Amino acid sequence: MKPDNSGAFSFQPVGIIRSCFTKKFGIPRQAGLVREVSAVIELLPPCNNEQVIRGLEGFSHIWVLFIFHDSMEEGWKNMVRPPRLGGKKRVGVFASRSPFRPNPIGISAVKLERIETSRGKLSLHIKGADLMNGTPVVDIKPYLPYADAIPDATGGYALEEPEPRFEVLITGNAKSCCEEEEDSGHKGLSSLIVSILNTDPRPAYYSAKHDGASFGLTLWDMDFKWTVEGDKIIVSDVEKLKTKSQDSV
Amino acid sequence: MKPDNSGAFSFQPVGIIRSCFTKKFGIPRQAGLVREVSAVIELLPPCNNEQVIRGLEGFSHIWVLFIFHDSMEEGWKNMVRPPRLGGKKRVGVFASRSPFRPNPIGISAVKLERIETSRGKLSLHIKGADLMNGTPVVDIKPYLPYADAIPDATGGYALEEPEPRFEVLITGNAKSCCEEEEDSGHKGLSSLIVSILNTDPRPAYYSAKHDGASFGLTLWDMDFKWTVEGDKIIVSDVEKLKTKSQDSV
C-alpha cells in the first residue's frame, strides 16, 4: 500500500459489525458504558482466516478500529458540541470523540468474549460495544494494559463515566414484547433497554428540558417508544419495523 | 467521504510527526515505554487551525492515530513473530501490534505537553511517543480514562511493561558527542539514549545470543554505535550522518 497522488491512504474493511443497533440513535457514546451490549465482528476475506487472530483468544480486551460509516456523508466541522457539555459549549473536533471527524475513524476498547468459527465464518464476539450494525472494521489489536491503560490521565470535560440519572420503567406493549422476546431467546432484553436508556441517549439540547418529548430506541427490528418525565424514563410502546435486518445479531 | 467502488475508504493525513527517530530501528515498541521521548505533531491544512484543537489543552493524554508509513511497502502476512515472544513464536497479525497489518494504522496514547502556535504552524508537543519522524497522523482524540483505561485487562503474552535488563554505558566518542550536544541544547540526550537502549531494540532473534554484534541507534543526524556484552550495553562511537533531516525535532 502506498498513498495515492493526493497523499491519501486507502483502507479496505477487514470485518463488519453485527449488532443490535440498527439505527444510530441510542448507541452508547463510548465503549464499555453499557457492558451488556453484545456485538459480533465478522471477519471478511482475506481476513476470515483463523491464522490472523491466532493468540487473540488469550486477551480479555481488544481494540476495534472502525469507520463511522453512518456519519461520513455529513462531513465535519472544526468545532463540535459534545453531549457531555450539555450541547451548549463547543470544542475542537480533535478535543472530542465525535463521529464527524476529518478522517471518520473510531477506536473502541471492548471485551472479547469468544471466537467462533462456523460455516466458513470467523466471528469475534465482543461486549460493551458502541458500534452500529454494519460498521466497517479496519483493524483489530490486542489491548495492552501497560501501554494503553492510563487510569490517572486527567483533564478535559469528560473524566468520569456519566452517572445514571433515571429510573427506567418498561410498561404496556413494550413490557409484553420484552417478555415474549426473552422467552424466545433474546435474554436480557429488558435490562439491555434499561442500561442503554440510563445513559440518556437524547440529543444534548434536550437533556435539561423538553420533558414529555417522545423518542424511539431501535434494537434489531423493534422500535421502543419512550418519554422522559422528571427523573423517570417510561418505555410504553413498541413498533415492529417491517424491514428486519437479517444481518444484525 | 464515501467508500470507493472497491469498498475502500480513503484518508488524508491531518498532521505529520517530527521526532528524533529518523530511522525505524530503536523506536520504542509501544507508546509510553520511553517517557523521555519528545515529539511534535505538526497539523497540516486544513487542520492547522486553532479551532480544531480547542479544549484539547485540558487533557493530559491524547490518542494519536497514524500510518506505519515506513512499513507499508512490505505488506503483511497472516502471522507475525512478536519481539515479546523472543521472535520464536508466531501469533496472528490481529493478536499483535506489529506495523505490518492489513491496514497499517497505529494507535498511541501519549502525554500532551503543550500546544504551540508560531509562524503559522500549529504544533502539539507530546511525550512518550513511539513514532518515526515523518509519520502521517490521521486522527487525534482525547484520552478518556473511563472508556480507554482498563487496568485489569488480562491475558495474552504482553501484559507487563518489559523490565530493563541492561546497564547502558556511554563511552569514547559517543560520550563526548553527548556532552557537546547537551551543552548546545539537546538536553537529556544521554538519558534518552540510556532509556531507549534499555528497551533492547535488537531484533527479537538477537536477544538471547549474538553477544558482541554491533548496532546503530540513529537519533536526529547522529548514528550511535553500540554493542551488547553480557548484561551491559556499550555505546562507544557516533557517526554524524551527512543528510541531516531538517524536519526532525
pLDDT in tens, chain B (249 residues): 567 778 899 999 999 999 999 999 889 989 988 888 999 999 999 999 999 999 999 999 999 999 999 998 899 999 999 887 877 889 999 999 999 999 999 999 999 999 999 888 999 999 999 999 999 999 999 999 999 999 889 977 766 777 878 899 999 999 999 999 999 988 899 999 999 999 888 877 665 566 678 899 999 999 999 999 888 999 999 999 976 555 555
What residues pair up with A229 in beta bridges, in sequence order? A232
* Cβ–Cβ below 8 Å for B145 and A139: no
Positive or negative torsion for Cα B18, B20, B21, B26? negative
Tell me if chain A has a CB within 8 Å of the CB of B53. yes
Interface of A with B in 144-203 (CB under 8 A): 144-161
> Between the CA of residue A184 and those of A40, A78, A192, A219, A242, what are the distances in Å?
20, 47, 16, 16, 19
pLDDT digits (tens, 9 = 90+) for A20-58: 999 998 899 899 888 889 999 999 999 999 999 999 999
Q: Compare all CA atoms of chain A with the CA of B69 and give the residue at the minimum distance.
A: A2
Which SS3 state, helix, strand or coil, does residue B162 take?
coil
State pTM to two decimals: 0.92
Residue A132 half-sphere exposure, CB side, CA atoms within 13 Å?
20
Q: Which of A6, A9, A62 to mutate to test the interface with B (most CBs of B within 10 A)?
A: A9
Angle made by CA atoms A87, A92, A95, in degrees to the nearest 5: 90
Go through the domains of chain A in sequence order and give each one's CATH number. 15-148 (2.40.30.70), 167-240 (3.30.2310)
Q: From CA A134, how far away is CA A131, in angstroms rounded?
A: 9
Task: Look up residue B199 and give its three cell numbers.
Answer: 528497551
Question: CA nearest B96: which of A163, A144, A247, A120?
Answer: A144
Q: From CA B12, how far away is CA A244, in angstroms rounded?
A: 36
* Cβ–Cβ below 8 Å for A144 and B104: no
DSSP per residue over A32-55, as a string? TSSTT-EEEEEE-TTS-SGGGGTT
